[in-house]
Structures are given as structure tokens and as C-alpha cells.
Amino acid sequence: MTEWIAIVDDDPLNLRTASLILGKNGMRVTALHAGQALLDWIGKDHTPDLILLDIMMPQMDGFETLKRLRRIEEENAMEPTPVIFLTGDSDAEIETKGLSAGALDFIRKPFEANALVHRVRNIVSQSERMKKLAIDSRIDKMTGFLNKTVATETVSELCRTLQGVLIVCDLDCFKLINDLYGHDVGDRILIAFADAVRNAQTDEDVLGRIGGDEFMIFTRSLKDADSVRVFVEELNRALVKKAEELTGENVRVGLGVSAGCIMVPHGNKEYHELFKLADMALYHVKQNGKHGCAFAEDLNLQPEDDIVADDMQSISMALAEREELSHAMWIGEDAFREIYRFMMRYIQSYNGVAYKVLFTLIPREDGKADADEMSNACFEFGKILQNTLRKSDIMMQIGANRFFLLLPELEEQYAGNVMDRIRQIWQNAKYADRVNFTYELKSVGPDHESGLRRRDDGL
């Protein structure tokens, strides 16, 4: 890989020196004399791997240039280009301001050749890893299916343009498997289900995980209702067989697969209407014996219909059917945002307390974690958080390598214990020798936020 570096500096000597050093080390270099020159140059055909940006320049300094650069990138749907500031100033306040503005590093002038090359290559390499992690974040790591957000976007578009079958399905009595045999067995059953689905589908079909044991499939390889029913029957057989292999016994907890389906297109209905109809058909199966499938067309369902449970028992059954977690809730950003806002209102109204935690995973300097290992490490760390925290705690993943947690009603004397327990578990994890984590911990009370603490797992 040939790194493409853009250097922005009003001093011709600095431009020549940096260009010479980087060019001798096999890098492609574009030299620009001012911030405005960079803004005029950057674009779809000019996307360097890294920008070396001088802070002190006439007309427009590095801080303002970076601010305008980010605006241009956002307006043109471009990925943010990594930036390293160039400075001859050793003032720590300048560094703080630069890092806050979004720079990833500083390089001092006059240049020391080895340090310049090392820092440039380090940032470019790290940036490439993070881009791959961002791509990997589209995928549910356990099943290999698309995650809910990406699956929804993809299937929504396909429902407007292609013929196929939309299937919404979940696993019957999956909670009992977790309760009786543990989450490790439950995870393996989810993986076995995903493998069975994948083996029966083609590459043109879209497979998504939209909840703990809830899935969505858009298939063009199943042409009619009969082939869909055969597919669901085969999934049920494969699932029970795998459960018996894992547990070594006859599984009697009602494990199986229920599915609601609808042919696409269906009138002029959009994705959200189609999904609702398929989900209503799924509900019908759950209330009528499970372990099978039903088509919305056969039930004469309409999007405006509401399947209303008419008594307390029916409502309770419908609510309890989904898996009741015994550990922290790992949810998407939209759901997290609603719960977070509710909890903040609750704290203000009823003098509650909580802790917010932001974990960030980073490769260790001596760990040599490649992109795949970093991605796997982030998933493993997320599972550790989920299984270590209480079922009253909630968490979401931000990007590829950060996790944001809300820990309600956690007393101050126990907050440190929670962080220590997570650190101890991670020290014995597979990727701990290659991936480090830091965290920020902040308490939240009725009238304030306080107690910000930053820690590294090596401390």
C-alpha cells in the first residue's frame, strides 16, 4: 500500500523537507501552501490517507482549516480524513485544543525523519483498521447476519424493487434454554440456527438479526408458500437436533421456530406495513401452537388491524414470550436513547442516582492486534460487559470500539468494584494481551453530574 499524504504549510522549507522525507519512504505526497488551498483541493478525486496540517498559518490557521474541512466532508458525504497537526510550539494548551478539535496527533518542527515517518504510518494504519471495524460493525458477530439497522435499511429498499418473501421469525421458548442450560448453550443454538438458515438460502437473500432471538429474512430463493413451510419445518428439526447434541438429552422445553411471512410485493404497501403484517402473522403462530409459519395473506390481515390481547393472561403471555434477559440489555442507539432519557427524567423527579460509563478499546502498542482480532476483541469485550452487569443495566455500542453504559441505582462504594471486576475478567480474556481499554466513569444525581474518573485497564 502506498500512503497518500497531503502536507499543508505556509513555509516552503517545511514543505520540501517533509515531502523529501516521506517521498524517500515510498509515500505519495501532495504539498499545499495554505489552508484555503487544501479546502479548494479536497474532494471525491482528492482523498488522501492523511493530512499534515500546520497550525500557525496566515489568513486561516490550522484550527479553522480543520473546522471547515470537516464541514466540507460532511456536506459531500465523505469519510473524515485523519489529521496530524504540525507545530513548533510546545505549549500543552495548544495540544489540548488541537486534540479537542479532532486532530489525532502532533508532530513537532523541525522534523526528525524517523519520528515523522513512524507517526504518519501509525496513524494511517490505525485509520485503516478503524474503517474495517466500521464495516464489520454492520454485521452481528454471533450469527454473521446483518444487524437490525442495516437489515432494516437493506430489506426496506428490496421491498420497493424486488419480488420475494419477507419472513419474520423467532425461537420458541429460547429463554428456558438459557435458564436451564446456560447462555453458552443458548449462544451455540443461535449459531446453529443461523447456520441452518444460511445453508438453505442463496447469496442474494438477506439475513438479519433484529433482536436477541428474533430474525428477519428476505428471500428470493423460496418461490411460494409451500417452499417456505418446508424451510421452517427443516429449521425446527435442525434446531432440536442441535439442542439435543449440546445438552446430551431429549429437549422438552418446546424449543422451535415460529415464522410470520408475506409475499412481496403486496399491493402498494411499504416496508413498515409489510413488516407489521409479517409480525402479526408471527403472533398468530405463537398463539396457536408455535413451531410453524403463517402467511398474512391467508389470515386476511391488514396493517391497520391490531391484534389486541383481551385479558390479563393473554397480555402477560405476549409480553413474556420474548427472552427475558438475566444480564445487561445490549441494545441499539434508538432504543438506548429513549431509555436513557426516561432514566434521566426519573432521576430528576425522584432523586435517583446512576453512573454513566464510556469504555474505549485500543490496540496495545506491543500487542500487534490486526483488524480482525480487534473486531473480535470488541465483540468479546461487549459480551463480558453484558454478562457481568446487572439486568437493570443498559449498554450500547458506539462505532466499532466504544461502549456506553448506564448503571441505574448503583451506590458509589460499588462503582469501583464493578470496574475492577470487568478489568479482572478482561485480563484473562483471549485478546487482553493485544487490546487495552480505558474508561470514563461519571455519577449522575438529581441536580448534577460529578465524579469523572478516567482509568486504563493496565492501572
How large a percentage of the chain has pLDDT more than 70?
89
How far apart, in Å, are the Cα atoms of 19 and each of 8, 35, 108? 11, 17, 15
pLDDT of 117-129, one tens digit each? 988 988 888 877 7
Answer whether 349's CB lies under 8 Å from 342's CB. Answer: no
Residue 311, pLDDT above cutoff 60? no
Q: Is 449 helix (H, G, I), strand (E, B) or coil?
A: strand
CA angle 392, 393, 396 (to 5 degrees): 140
Answer whether 5's CB lies under 8 Å from 22's CB. Answer: yes
Sheet holding 214-219, edge to edge: 206-209, 214-219, 164-172, 256-264, 293-295
Give the residue with greater pLDDT, 357 vs 125.
Answer: 357
Q: Is 225 helix (H, G, I), strand (E, B) or coil?
A: helix
Nearest to 216 by CA among 157, 174, 275: 275
pLDDT of 218-244, one tens digit each? 999 998 999 999 999 999 999 989 888
Sheet holding 394-398, edge to edge: 329-330, 394-398, 402-408, 354-363, 435-444, 449-456
Answer whether 127's CB lies under 8 Å from 51's CB. Answer: no
Q: How many CB atoms lie within 10 A of CB 416?
A: 12
CA 420 from chain centre, in angstroms, equals 25
Per the document, the length of the chain is: 459
Question: CA-to-CA distance for 201 and 37, rounded, in angstroms?
Answer: 52
- E strands, 243-345, in order: 256-264, 293-295, 329-330
Question: CA-to-CA distance for 240 and 233, rounded, in angstroms?
Answer: 11
Q: Which domains does the chain possess?
A: 4-136 (3.40.50.2300), 148-321 (3.30.70.270), 329-456 (3.30.70.270)
Answer whether 69's CB lies under 8 Å from 30's CB. Answer: no
Question: CA-to-CA distance for 278 and 214, rounded, in angstroms?
Answer: 13
Give the residue with greater pLDDT, 323 vs 349.
Answer: 349
Please report the pLDDT score of residue 20 as a whole number: 94
Give the residue with greater pLDDT, 331 vs 71.
Answer: 71
Question: CA-to-CA distance for 380 and 401, rounded, in angstroms?
Answer: 11
Question: CA-to-CA distance for 29 and 4, rounded, in angstroms?
Answer: 6
pLDDT of 22-80, one tens digit each? 999 999 999 999 999 999 999 878 889 999 999 999 999 999 999 999 999 888 878 88
Which helix or strand (DSSP H or E) is residue 87 part of? strand 83-87
Q: Is 239 helix (H, G, I), strand (E, B) or coil?
A: helix
**406 band by pLDDT with thresholds 50, 70 and 90:** very high
Q: What residues pair up with 166 in beta bridges, in sequence order? A: 218, 262
Question: CA-to-CA distance for 32 and 154, rounded, in angstroms?
Answer: 41
Residue 454, pLDDT above cutoff 80? no
Please report the pLDDT score of residue 309 as a whole number: 45
C-alpha grid cell for residue 431? Answer: 485478546
- Top mean pLDDT of 106-110, 155-159, 248-252, 417-421 is at 155-159
Place of cell 409480525: 279
Residue 287, pLDDT above cutoff 70? yes
How far apart, in Å, are the Cα atoms of 97 and each of 55, 62, 94? 11, 11, 5
Question: CA-to-CA distance for 359 and 423, rounded, in angstroms?
Answer: 11
Residue 134, pLDDT above cutoff 80? no
Question: CA-to-CA distance for 54 and 45, rounded, in angstroms?
Answer: 23
